[in-house]
């Protein structure tokens, strides 16, 4: 049986296939790309929504499948159930429960590998709806099912933040807002807010250049986006360029620069900057070109390993270096819920070593009196404060300057303040998790 391309059953089937690839180690965006090849934009949008919901609820749905099915089902059936159960757990419900059940059974019936199990799938979903209140109460005893994180991740966050770990985990499960960075070279923030209002887009200012939309919209609907008036960038990420404290005429390195959001921000902040954007992945470096072209800005884009300057550096020292280093990305799980399921505890140790290698190598490229900003989008101290203290001890002639330190991911309704080093966040309570440290080389 061929499913109608605009049906929920078709989208459920594709989302289950994407979830299967995720569970085999593929990042969710790439998994969705793989299963949606040749699909029209509306179908891709529906699959993305279903798959992201399923990923956010993966701990709960795994528990439900273990609880409701005596013997482990085939992986294809399990993934279809995971997607369907997530839609029934979410709040608010994206679809009526009877629609989810009907369309999930239809999707199973259309797949020769699953059709023999459609009765089991129908029975599991209907039993869940009958016993939902009791089942949800029972799953609270299982940490992974209750929080939708792997057990090791829960333990690491609880160890680092014993008083606020539950709030931090909850913040990572909330849907992220769409936040824009207004380009001051093109338009003032208040004027841009007026442009949004004229376009019927509700928004508010939440930072110096940050604007949060009440609901996400395609960038094609944003006034001035194509002309570089705004960029999409989390409010917490917008601190990176401002902390670098650039001045006209300086030579600046944006290490690990793709996709180019911070490079573009730097070029918006001062005239006459000589910016080098470094990226190890040639394919990702193309994104830097595209983003800078939209902003009508230019930089020297270089493909190379930040930890090996001898392969790309011309020997001329930089006044400023932005080291936005590879990390676990534990601070941006509300935007990328697949990260929690793809990371392993051993990754943190390996990443910490890589971060040290990169910063030590870049430090040699910084001129006396220059500044280096160390950034990770992580909440784990092994990638944040522990590293900053290590750099203080091991970087020659390093002076640690005031910086935000650990910013914890928060939402407007989160009952916590951010982890700003001085006790108060430099931002309103709506941003991802980041760590910032600033070092100056003695003149």
CA distance 433 to 120: 41
CA distance 404 to 437: 7
| Backbone φ, ψ for residue 180 (5° rounding) | -115, 150
Kindly name the residue from 36, 302, 327, 377 that is annotated as catalytic.
Answer: 377
* Known binding-site residue numbers for S-adenosyl-L-methionine: 256-262, 279, 305, 324
The candidate with the shortest Cα–Cα distance to 325, out of 354, 283, 361, is 354
**Do 230 and 195 contact (CB within 8 A), yes or no?**
no
C-alpha distances (whole Å) from 414 to each of 96, 170, 277 are 28, 8, 36
**Do 364 and 309 contact (CB within 8 A), yes or no?**
yes
Helix (H, G, I), strand (E, B) or coil at 302: strand
Total residues found in the chain within this entry: 443
Residue 412 CB neighbours (<10 A): 11
CA distance 337 to 148: 10
DSSP 370: E
Strand order across the 300-303 sheet:
300-303, 274-279, 251-255, 318-324, 366-376, 434-441, 398-407
The candidate with the shortest Cα–Cα distance to 324, out of 256, 227, 247, is 256
Annotated catalytic residue 377: yes
Residue 309 token pair: 């300057």
366-376 and 434-441 strand pairing: antiparallel
The candidate with the shortest Cα–Cα distance to 438, out of 363, 369, 371, is 371
Which residues are catalytic, by number? 377
């Amino acid at each position: 049986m061929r499913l109608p391309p605009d049906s929920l059953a078709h989208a459920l089937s594709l989302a289950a296939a994407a979830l299967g690839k995720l569970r085999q180690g593929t990042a969710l965006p790439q998994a969705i790309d793989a299963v949606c090849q040749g699909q029209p934009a509306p179908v891709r949008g529906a699959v993305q929504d279903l798959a992201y919901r399923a990923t956010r609820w993966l701990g709960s749905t795994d528990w439900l499948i273990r609880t409701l099915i005596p013997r482990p089902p085939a992986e294809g059936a399990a993934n279809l159930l995971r997607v369907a159960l997530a839609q029934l757990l979410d709040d608010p419900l994206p679809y009526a429960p009877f629609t989810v059940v009907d369309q999930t059974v239809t999707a199973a019936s259309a797949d020769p590998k699953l059709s023999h199990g459609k009765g089991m799938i129908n029975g599991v979903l209907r039993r869940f709806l009958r016993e939902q209140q009791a089942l949800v109460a029972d799953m609270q005893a299982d940490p992974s099912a209750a929080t939708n994180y792997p057990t090791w991740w829960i333990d690491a966050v609880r160890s680092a933040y014993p008083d606020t770990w539950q709030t931090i985990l909850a913040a990572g499960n909330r849907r992220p807002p769409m936040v824009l960075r207004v380009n001051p070279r093109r338009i003032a923030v208040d004027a841009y807010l007026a442009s949004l209002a004229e376009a019927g887009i509700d928004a508010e200012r939440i930072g110096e250049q940050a604007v949060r939309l009440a609901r996400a919209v395609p960038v094609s609907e944003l006034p001035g986006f194509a002309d570089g008036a705004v960029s999409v960038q989390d409010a917490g990420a917008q601190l990176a360029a401002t902390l670098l404290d650039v001045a006209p005429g300086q030579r600046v390195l944006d290490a690990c620069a793709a996709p180019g959001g911070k490079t573009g921000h730097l070029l918006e902040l001062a005239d006459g900057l000589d910016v080098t954007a470094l990226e190890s992945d040639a394919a990702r470096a193309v994104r830097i070109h595209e983003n800078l072209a939209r902003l009508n800005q230019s930089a020297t884009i270089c493909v190379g390993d930040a930890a090996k300057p001898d392969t790309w550096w011309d020997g001329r020292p930089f006044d400023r270096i932005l080291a936005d280093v590879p990390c676990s990305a534990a601070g941006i799980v509300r935007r990328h819920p697949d990260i929690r399921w793809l990371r392993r505890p051993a990754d943190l140790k390996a990443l910490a070593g890589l971060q040290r290698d990169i910063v030590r190598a870049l430090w040699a490229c910084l001129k006396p009196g220059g500044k280096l900003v160390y950034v990770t989008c992580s909440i784990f101290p092994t990638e944040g404060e522990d590293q900053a203290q290590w750099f203080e001890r091991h970087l020659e002639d390093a002076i640690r300057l005031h910086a935000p330190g650990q910013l914890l991911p928060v939402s407007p309704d989160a009952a916590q303040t951010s982890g700003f080093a001085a006790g108060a966040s430099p931002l309103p309570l709506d941003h991802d998790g980041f760590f910032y440290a600033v070092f100056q080389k003695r003149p």
